[in-house]
Amino acid sequence: MSVISGQDTAVSPSSTQAVSTQPKRRDRKKTAKRLTWITHLGAWVPLAVLIGEYFTNNLGIDPVREILFHTGTTALVLLVLSLAVTPVNIIFGWKQVIPLRRPLGLYAFMYVSLHLLTFVWLDYAFDLSFILDGIVEQPFVLVGTVAFLLLVPLAITSTKGWQKRLGKRWKTLHKLSYLIIILALIHFIWLVKNVYIEPGIYAAIVGLLFLARWNPVKQKLLRWQRQIRTRLKSR
């Protein structure tokens, strides 16, 4: 947040500048609106594809596993995208992406819920003792469950009302998203057993995103961003 507000206050030292930044601000708002629409539409595509595959009998020989893979991968991609919002703003100075963090996180929660529902309903037929055995026998499921449970308070408190009510504690609480993504990666790495390429790629991306948030790296990136902007303006 400090990055964003820092950029906000850097603008408009004089009234002439304030007037000249108005169209830019309007453009930014328009782009932000468009990006929000794209996010909402894009987030429903994986579910639409899954439903399409179900009705055309294209879920393969093990449909439940296919649904687990599909919902799990979509949830992970959305979690990574929501984590990427701040670094994208730090690196490129695109404030327009900031409002996307909330819908991306909520859609991630939706897909994790579908993923969990597939597990307890389609795979384990809501049989509680069977489900508990499945969790104990497969520790990667336990790790996934912890990640899901941690996502619940974040989804509930994602509204502006909760943000106000919790004040500073809201930020601390939402730092849980870092732990959630690490648990999601452990869940993925643990379950694949041999071929680590796909989870390895996700882990590398998440590592870079964490690095961009680390203050010494963040400050350097912000300096570069400012230098590039000044050079572009002076042309």
Least distance CB 184 / ligand HEM (angstroms) = 4
**By CB under 6 A, is residue 163 in contact with ligand HEM?**
no
**By CB under 6 A, is residue 187 in contact with ligand HEM?**
yes
Contact 201, 190 (CB under 8 A): no
Q: Which of residues 14-53 bind ligand HEM (CB under 6 A)?
A: none
**By CB under 6 A, is residue 83 in contact with ligand HEM?**
no
Least distance CB 133 / ligand HEM (angstroms) = 12
**By CB under 6 A, is residue 72 in contact with ligand HEM?**
yes
**By CB under 6 A, is residue 115 in contact with ligand HEM?**
yes
Tell me phi and psi for residue 222, to 5 degrees: -65, -40
**By CB under 6 A, is residue 145 in contact with ligand HEM?**
yes
Q: Would you state the structure tokens that stand for residue 74, as one six-digit string?
A: 């979509």
Q: Which residue's CB is nearer to ligand HEM, number 94 or number 210?
A: 210
Least distance CB 193 / ligand HEM (angstroms) = 8
Tell me phi and psi for residue 224, to 5 degrees: -60, -45
Least distance CB 175 / ligand HEM (angstroms) = 16
Q: Which residue's CB is nearer to ligand HEM, number 81 or number 184?
A: 184
Task: From 85, 80, 78, 77, select the one nearest 101 (Cα to Cα).
Answer: 85
Q: Which residue's CB is nearer to ligand HEM, number 145 or number 158?
A: 145
**By CB under 6 A, is residue 209 in contact with ligand HEM?**
no
**By CB under 6 A, is residue 80 in contact with ligand HEM?**
no
Least distance CB 153 / ligand HEM (angstroms) = 13
Which residues form the interface with ligand HEM (CB under 6 A)?
A: 65, 68-69, 72-73, 75-76, 79, 112, 115-116, 119, 141, 144-145, 147-148, 151, 180, 184, 187-188, 191
